[in-house]
Amino acid sequence: HWHKKLLNCEFTLPVTIKIKDFLKSVILFTVIMETIGAILFFIAFYNNGMPVGEAIWNSIFHSVSAFCTAGFSLFNSGFTGYVNDGFVNFIIAFLAIAGSLGFIVVTDLVLWIKDRSHQLSFTSRIIFIGFAFLLSFGFVFMYFFEPTITVLDGCARLYAAFFQTMSAMTTVGFNTVDYGSYSIPIILVTIFLMYVGASPSGTAGGIKITTLSAVFTIMKSRLRGSKEITFLGRKIPFERLYIATSSFIFYTSLIFIFTLALTFTDDFSLEKSLFEVSSALGTVGLSMGITGDLSSIGKMLLIMIMFIGRLGVLTFGLAIWSKSLQKEQPRHMEDDIAV
């Protein structure tokens, strides 16, 4: 019972999808995507002059890393040497977006391809709209306002702006330019993209697009004085709103607490400390170059926040308070409060 409850909490699946079927589909989809990615990577690396044996190993490793949005690379400088290679940029983006959009969206797309009369689910539409908006938002800022990208010529500038935005949103953690030299405004934009992440039931971290949409919808409805919480003409169930607000508050609180702690243990600027914590909680893997210079306590803080981020914020919260949830909750007197 508790295993199912934890999985439902972690993936926040619609009630129409069973956990057993979900896990089977995830395994099948993962194997297919990572196999395709490895083949494409091999073609790219081999065409760039890499020996066959080395190309095979690098292809498998980076395919798994990109799809799982792990961010691990076997190259000392990451993918900075491929900033002008459109094919490699495409492969990583293809795998990272496929993994981060999640099973719900993939299932909807497959059903739509098979039967054009199939209607995309409410969740998928929110994810598509949110993903497209945030990707466009980040791309515009990167392309026009980031000095390390604006100095690039032609397609390299286009690839770099898209890749860095995609990397932060999908939390894949690869980079083709140096984040250590980013300007303050773009650092904040990147932190925001890492904070949001992509889709529930996917490989990305962050609070998720659906959570941000739900919280925004609550705010909009309250300001308009509406009793119902609606988005895209659909009413959002209160149970999902409770989950969204809980996740939003808990996630934001963790970023604040650990950033505050890091400013006590290490003498780095606020934006670098905030970037490091946001990247760790979102399981992104991006850094402004301070990770190796952190104190032992600072590194332990990052280890803790990475563990919480990978476990899942709501899962972590459920693990903490699960005992008290099993006990009968005391009845409280109802009273009013001014807000």
Query: What total number of domains does the chain contain?
Result: 2
Range from 84-88, 140-144, 208-212 carrying the lowest mean pLDDT: 208-212
Specify if 85 maps to a domain.
yes
Is 194 found in the same domain as 140? yes
Sign of CA pseudo-dihedral 314, 319, 324, 328: positive
Is 164 found in the same domain as 104? yes
Is 163 found in the same domain as 278? no
| Interval 38-62 mean pLDDT | 95
Q: Is the distance from CB of 297 to CB of 304 less than 8 angstroms?
A: no
Is 118 found in the same domain as 45? yes
Asked whether the whole model's pTM tops 0.85, one would answer: yes
Specify if 8 maps to a domain.
no
Is 24 found in the same domain as 97? yes
pLDDT at 51: 94
Residue 12 pLDDT level (bands cut at 50, 70, 90)? low
Question: Which candidate, 194, 188, 192, 199, places its Cα nearest to that of 175?
Answer: 194
β partners of residue 235:
230
Residues 65-120: tens digit of each pLDDT: 999 888 889 988 889 889 999 999 999 999 999 999 877 787 777 777 777 777 77
| Interval 284-293 mean pLDDT | 90
Is 263 found in the same domain as 169? no
Specify if 211 maps to a domain.
no
Is 154 found in the same domain as 39? yes
Q: Whole-angstrom Cα distance, residue 64 to residue 74?
A: 12
Q: Whole-angstrom Cα distance, residue 223 to residue 239?
A: 21
pLDDT at 108: 77
Residue predicted with more confidence, 22 or 309: 309
pLDDT at 146: 94
Q: Whole-angstrom Cα distance, residue 161 to residue 90?
A: 13
Question: Which candidate, 176, 169, 178, 167, places its Cα nearest to that of 289?
Answer: 178
Q: Whole-angstrom Cα distance, residue 157 to residue 197?
A: 23
Specify if 112 maps to a domain.
yes
pLDDT at 333: 57
What percentage of the chain reaches a pLDDT higher than 90? 47
Q: Is 213 exposed, middle or buried (0-12, 13-18, 19+ CB in 10 A)?
A: buried
Specify if 190 maps to a domain.
yes
Is 302 found in the same domain as 158? no
Is 141 found in the same domain as 85? yes
Residue 1 has pLDDT above 60, yes or no: no
Is 274 found in the same domain as 172? no
Compute CA distances 194 → 5, 129, 273, 276, whole Å: 27, 17, 14, 11
Buried b / exposed e across 15-53, counting CB within 10 Å, b at 16+?
A: eebeeeebeeebeebbeebbebbbebbbebbbeeebeee
Specify if 328 maps to a domain.
no
Q: Domain span at residue 315?
A: 241-321
pLDDT at 57: 95
Residue 336 pLDDT level (bands cut at 50, 70, 90)? very low
| Interval 182-189 mean pLDDT | 94
Residues 13-35: tens digit of each pLDDT: 555 555 666 667 778 888 999 99
Contacts 24+ apart (CB under 8 A), 288-292: 288/179, 288/180, 288/182, 288/187, 289/178, 289/179, 289/180, 290/266
Secondary structure letter of residue 237 according to DSSP: P
pLDDT at 277: 96
| Interval 296-301 mean pLDDT | 95
Report the CATH number that the domain containing residue 281 is assigned in CATH. Answer: 1.10.287
Residue 337 pLDDT level (bands cut at 50, 70, 90)? very low
Specify if 220 maps to a domain.
no
Residues 216-267: tens digit of each pLDDT: 888 888 888 887 788 777 887 777 788 888 889 989 999 999 999 999 999 9
Specify if 215 maps to a domain.
no
Is 252 found in the same domain as 195? no
Residues 264-277: tens digit of each pLDDT: 999 999 999 999 99
β partners of residue 231:
234
Residue predicted with more confidence, 46 or 9: 46
Is 120 found in the same domain as 60? yes
When the pLDDT of each residue in the chain is averaged and rounded to a whole number, the result is 84
Residue 339 has pLDDT above 50, yes or no: no
| Interval 111-134 mean pLDDT | 83
